[in-house]
A and B are shown apart, each in its own frame.
Chain A
Amino acid sequence: MFKAIEVLQPNFIERPLNELWQLISPLYKADEESWLKELLPLAKPTDQELKEQTDSAIQLITQVRKDDDSMSMIDALLLEYSLDTKEGILLMCLAEALMRVPDKETADAFIKDRLSVADWASHAKNSDSFFVNASTWGLLLTGKIVTMDENKDGTPANLVNRMVNRVSEPVIRKAMNQAMKIMGHQFVLGRDIKEALSRGKGYRDKGYTYSFDMLGEAALTSDDAVKYLLSYEKAIESVGKDTYSQKHRPTISIKLSALHPRYEVGCEERVMTELFTSVKGLITKARALNVGITIDAEEADRLELSLNLFEKLFRDESTSGWGLFGLVVQAYSKRALPVLAWLAALAKEHGDRIPVRLVKGAYWDSEIKLCQQRGINGYPVYTRKESTDVSYLACANFLLSEHTRANIFPQFASHNAHTIATISCLAKQLGATSEEFEFQRLHGMGDALYNHLIKENDICVRIYAPVGSHKDLLPYLVRRLLENGANSSFVHRLIDASYPITDLVDHPVTTLESRKSLANPHINLPGNLFDDRKNSFGPNIEIESEWTPFKAKIDSFMGQDKQWRAYPIVGGEKVETGNTHLVQSPYDHSQTAGQLDWADANTVSKAIDLAQAAFPAWSAHSASERADCLDRTADLMEDNYAELIALCHREAGKTIQDSIDEVREAVDFCRYYAQQARSHFAAPTTYIDFLGQDKQAQLKGRGVFTCISPWNFPLAIFAGQIVAALVVGNTVIAKPAEQTSLIAMRAIELMHQAGIPTDALHLLPGDGATVGAPLTSDKRIAGLAFTGSTGTAQLINRTLAARGVAPVPVIAETGGQNAMLVDSTSLPEQVVRDAVHSAFASAGQRCSALRVLFVQADIADRVIPMIRGAMQEQSVGLPYLHSTDVGPVIDKKAQTILLEHIEHMKSVGTLIAQSALPDFADKGTFVAPTAFEISSIDQLTDEKFGPILHVIRYKARDLDKIIDTINCSGFGLTMGVHSRNETTCARIANRARVGNLYINRDQVGAVVGVQPFGGQGLSGTGPKAGGPHYLQRFAIEQDL
């Protein structure tokens, strides 16, 4: 960690660029306490400075509050409908979705869903704003109408209400749409750049200028990217022609993720060529017209990619010598300060000044959530608001320093009066003139603050103004608003006259230093997400400092010189049977991962003998002792992370992220079941029986368990079944899938290393006939856990039942015909992203993968082309490359079945799209992601376990019929739902007979202990793996 204070030394930015670059990435998830201790001295004022800053802030706030017109309409709206109220959230929900709903039925149902659960009356006449009050009365009236109970008595008032209910739905819909248009009008400066320029004249007369942005969702398809590019070009042309005021010319802000459908680190090559060309074109045009360009900030994962692209563009001849090509830096990022230092050095080296907009950051909660989901042990952002404010001031101190401002033109974006006053004071203290920096604010927010600032100071204030159709922009803007948490924001409190000014001018350094800890103790690090166990760790492959060293470790197992040799392991001994098989890599059959000996009948018999003999001793261990073995197994798996990932690549053809998720799941299974065993198996439970007598019962192991696992989760499911059986006290014989026995052998070795006795756990690789059949027909087998096809589960069940002994538990997880239901309130971009991921990730070889997408007919013509476009962007290729989205399928047999299905579907369905295969596809077993439109789920017989998606249009009124049809299939594993209507979601959740239902997200990637996984009906027996009832099924409950 570098000494932050050193950035204030003028020669700091004279260091080699590469040296400064190296400071950025390691701070990605730096320890918050340590790093903030470095930053605090940069933000901490002297007593004199503190007094000046505080007085200045008090003066500014006092002036603003005196002003009757201090509140803009948006300010007023957010004050009344604070986002910490139900009404505020519901209003935003309506604004986000209503305008895009094309059909009346769904729109009416959505309005009813949103308006009927809130207390609109409490807001009536609270606000001084006409706009807010008008909205409130509208919502109140509408809410009353839609919530009427038709069964109430027939009083005149109710009678009238009922009549209104019958006739008024079109009126309500129209009124609500009108209200949303008004809201859109407030948030968006213009529906096109012409309107924006026209509407902006009033503010420009006051001395403001603008940065326009054609905001919206990120592009998912090349068509979307082209559309955005054209829109930016038009905007540049219009602004270039604008002659209204030459003092501070408007600029254009560009969102890179709108200009390329795969603006991701994994697609760096495309970004640095295709996207580079697009942006260079914009720069050339903008430069010719003297319109400055600012690159907007994106999520933390893309920061390093953005900087790389920026550098390439900045160094390009099209930009050289211009000085109006800038970018946005987010102060909530722990990497902000070294990024600024690197930019200053880049500018100094090149000789052109870089405009830099310093913002606090717009994706805070999604950054935190993402890290928690991915198990990234740290956060890229600060966990306290005041820490971000401290970082902002530390960055400002650097930006306003004499040696920096010669190279960077700082643009301070904030709506916080204290921040603005402090920056103004800081500028004066550091000798920066008003020509050497500017302020920025959002359209519709902070008017009064900046009106006063402009009046009092000759300084440029730029308004960041969204431009575009209200329908397209509202979802995006609402998300940003909600994510910024206006309830705790300064804007809210500034205009709330009851809030004491003295509380608004606390310096963030003072506030932060008064905390017991600099990091927020209420936001656990991802590793500590669970109270009772450690969360598994996952490296972030998008971040250089995380991925580069991790990849180097994996690479050491990726060469052909590294070959694994696997055998049956019985009693801890590797048994050479002579029945040796080569293990080919699914992506290239000329490459091998190793060799494997299959078990024979003698080995099976010996393993059962030993396991049977070992049962008394192993089951006599305490649950805690057995659980300790599982915890050690988990740690060993993390210690051997790289090798396990390499095996996932080479033996199973898994992509990088899939392989990481695989190891994480296995680790989570170990720790979760260990914790469950300690909670439920350590001591007897006391209960009162039905006759009122006190009893004690103890859960105990049953004997020898057989665990038969599939190739699609060769480590996670394999390990999950085994450790569950073991921790309960059973001994285990494991039969892995014949395709993925190398990784299975490594897992068994690690389990033995962790202390699981070698006679309690045995590995028998081989096929069903050689190993599966003798293993399931032996009378000593006391239970079986199986994951695989429904047909095989039935066969095994028959074999077990035929043994002539007491029935034993059969825990089977089997197939599915998984559907996703999408209604017209959903956001198409989210739907397509989640559907494509659910259907094609892992080459569709997940039990949970999406097979049938039901799209409401009213939006199908929008959604289906987007699916086509997104599929064209899918990269099928070598699984160990970061650029690969879809790897191979497991083997030739699987490939043949899938290709035959594709051929069949070509004759009965309509091809939507098929992703391209790589040139080398013939070397392995690849199947191109393919989507068909079909008319009915009845056209499908059984599950096709691969990257094939079927799309069906349905009418809104037929939703229940669709659910019935899905239920009738008998399968019940996963289902996805995309809808903004909570009533619809609840209705589907109540009616669908599925084990795992996912709402407004993808439907794959269940997390152990968080989303217990397993189906019903033809999809499995239960209980759910990774759930609180799983272990009990491996045990017997005995009275003591």
Chain B
Amino acid sequence: MTIVQPIQVKVAQATFEEWDTLGVNGRAEKLQKSLSSFTDEQQKMASWQIENAKKSIAETRVMPGPTGERNELSSQGRGPFLCTSFFENDKVTTGLVGQVFTALIAGNPVITVGQAGQDIMDKITPYVAEGVIQNIADSALDSLIEADHLAGVATLCDDTQAQQLSQRLAAKQGLICQLIEETDIEQLSTIAKPHYILRFVTERTVSNNTTAIGGNATLLELGSMDD
């Protein structure tokens, strides 16, 4: 059976590299422009996620180690993320905004679902490149969940829905698609936590032998340093 891959995932993949390469601060600059379109609570949630990302994943971390090599740890987006909710109310929409902004600020292109997703997309679209955020109809949700190359699904749902979704994602071939579920739709106790953003990123270590052509400037400096 030939599975028709949704075009949205391909579009998201095409725009992923450019969006991810902007870095947290570059993305924050664009996303912040959209904040005023959201309601007060949504705006606070979105803004909080942006600021949290700036604090926790924006900086490339230089790791300690031997002289003569430079080891850097940084974060990248994972790839196309589906952000969706199985419920509808103001709190849930705030949570959905939180998911979308977290996924976006982490470097991922986002696909939202239905009218709630459309509303969020419309507010962000003017400020980001085409394909960074897209929306699909509710009817297309199943095919998107089944799509190859979907890096993750962030959802507001209940426990049963989370289990079902988890089983569907696990049944797929290919990469292990991340399920990031919020089942506390009253308190949003997962979404609004400092470490939530880490679920949306993948990390990269770059190890550079800075003495490949010879010369270890750091060491020479230490060697000739006065007490």
A residues with CB within 8 A of B: 83-84, 89, 92-93, 96-97, 364-366, 368-369, 372-373, 383-385, 475, 478-483, 485, 487-488, 515-517, 520-523, 526, 529-531, 685, 687, 689-692, 697, 699, 793-794, 797-798, 800-802, 804-807, 810, 812, 827, 830, 970, 980, 985, 989-991, 993-1001, 1006-1007, 1009-1014, 1016-1018, 1021-1024, 1027-1029, 1032-1033, 1037, 1039
* CB pairs A–B below 8 angstroms (13 shown): A478-B213, A478-B214, A481-B214, A690-B49, A691-B44, A802-B167, A807-B179, A980-B213, A995-B202, A996-B205, A1006-B205, A1012-B73, A1022-B201
Asked if A806 and B159 sit within 8 Å, CB to CB, the answer is: yes
Q: A372-B66, A1009-B63, A1016-B78 are in contact. Are A1024 and B215 (CB under 8 A)?
A: no
Distance, CA A1027 to CA B224, complexed state (A): 32
CB distance from B86 to the nearest CB of A (A): 15
0/1 string, B177-212, CB within 8 A of A gives 1? 011010100000100111110100111111111011
For the complex, give the distance between the alpha carbons of A531 and B64 in Å. 9
Tell yes or no: B92 within 8 A of A by CB.
no
State the Cβ distance, A995 to closest chain B Cβ, in Å.
6
Partner of A84, one of B183, B201, B217: B217
Contacts A383-B223, A801-B170, A1021-B178; A996 near B207 (Cβ below 8 A):
yes
From 64 to 117 in chain B, residues with beta carbon under 8 angstroms from any chain A beta carbon are: 64-69, 71, 73, 76, 78-79, 98
B176 at the interface (CB under 8 A from A): yes
Closest to B216 in A: A365
Point out the residues of chain B lying under 8 angstroms from A385, CB to CB. 223-224
Closest chain-B Cβ to A470's Cβ sits at a distance in Å of 16
Q: Within 8 Å CB of B224, what residues of A?
A: 385, 485, 488
Q: Are A999 and B208 in contact (CB under 8 A)?
A: yes
Chain B residues within 8 Å of A, Cβ to Cβ: 17, 21, 41, 44-45, 47-49, 61, 63-69, 71, 73, 76, 78-79, 98, 159, 162-163, 166-167, 169-171, 173-176, 178-179, 181, 183, 189, 192-196, 198, 201-209, 211-217, 219-220, 222-225, 227
Pairwise interchain contact A697-B193, C-beta atoms closer than 8 A: yes
Number of A-B contacts (CB under 8 A): 228
Contacts of B79 in A (CB 8 A): 1017
Q: Determine if B203 and A1027 form an interchain contact, defined as CB atoms under 8 angstroms apart.
A: yes
- A690 near B223 with CB under 8 A, answer no
Kindly state the separation between the CA atoms of A692 and B41 in the bound complex, as whole angstroms: 11
Nearest Cβ on chain B to A985's Cβ, whole angstroms: 8
Apart from A801-B170, A996-B207, A1029-B203, what are 18 other A-B pairs with CB-CB below 8 Å?
A89-B215, A364-B223, A366-B68, A369-B66, A369-B68, A373-B66, A485-B215, A523-B219, A689-B48, A794-B176, A804-B163, A999-B209, A1001-B69, A1007-B65, A1011-B63, A1023-B198, A1027-B203, A1028-B73
Closest to A680 in B: B195
Q: Please tell me if the beta carbons of B219 and A689 are within 8 angstroms of each other in the complex.
A: no
Contact between B68 and A365, CB atoms less than 8 A apart: yes
CB-defined contacts of B61 to chain A, threshold 8 Å: 1028
In the assembled complex, the Cα of A268 lies from the Cα of B174 at a distance in Å of 49
B19 CB → nearest A CB, Å = 13
Bound CA–CA A830/B212 (angstroms) = 8
Whole-angstrom CA separation of A529 from B44 in the bound complex: 43
Given A365-B211, A800-B170, A999-B206, answer yes or no on A1010-B64 (Cβ-Cβ < 8 Å): yes
- Which residues of chain A have C-beta atoms less than 8 A from B47's C-beta? 690
The answer to whether B176 touches A366, judged by C-beta atoms less than 8 angstroms apart, is no
By the criterion CB–CB under 8 Å, are A797 and B170 in contact? yes
Q: Is the CB of B205 within 8 A of A1024?
A: yes
Are the C-beta atoms of B175 and A517 separated by less than 8 Å? no
A370 nearest in chain B by CB position: B66
Assess A689 versus B222: contact at CB under 8 Å? Given A93-B213, A794-B176, A797-B170.
no
Chain A hits for B198, CB < 8 A = 1023, 1029, 1032-1033
Tell me which residues across on chain B come within 8 A of A369, comparing CB atoms: 66-69, 211, 216, 219
Assess whether B216 is in contact with A689, with CB atoms less than 8 Å apart: no
Q: Which residues of B contact A1024 (CB under 8 A)?
A: 73, 203, 205
Contact A690 B65 (CB under 8 A): no
Contacts of B215 in A (CB 8 A): 83, 89, 92, 365, 479, 482-483, 485
State which of A522, A687, A1001, A1022 has its C-beta within 8 Å of the C-beta of B222.
A522
Whether the Cβ atoms of B220 and A365 lie closer than 8 Å is yes
Whole-angstrom CA separation of A1017 from B173 in the bound complex: 12
Q: Are the C-beta atoms of A485 and B223 separated by less than 8 Å? A: yes
Q: Which residue in chain B gives the minimum CB-CB distance to A990? A: B21
Task: Name the B residues within 8 Å of A1032 (CB-CB).
Answer: 195, 198
CA distance A289 to B189 in the complex (A): 87
- Contacting residue for A1022 out of B17, B98, B174, B202, CB 8 A: B202
Centre residue among B41, B67, B176, B225 by max chain A CB count within 10 A: B176
Q: Are B211 and A687 in contact (CB under 8 A)?
A: no
Q: Which residues of B contact A810 (CB under 8 A)?
A: 176
Could you say which residues of chain B place their CB within 8 Å of the CB of A806? 159, 162-163, 183
Complex CA–CA separation, A798 to B17 (angstroms): 30
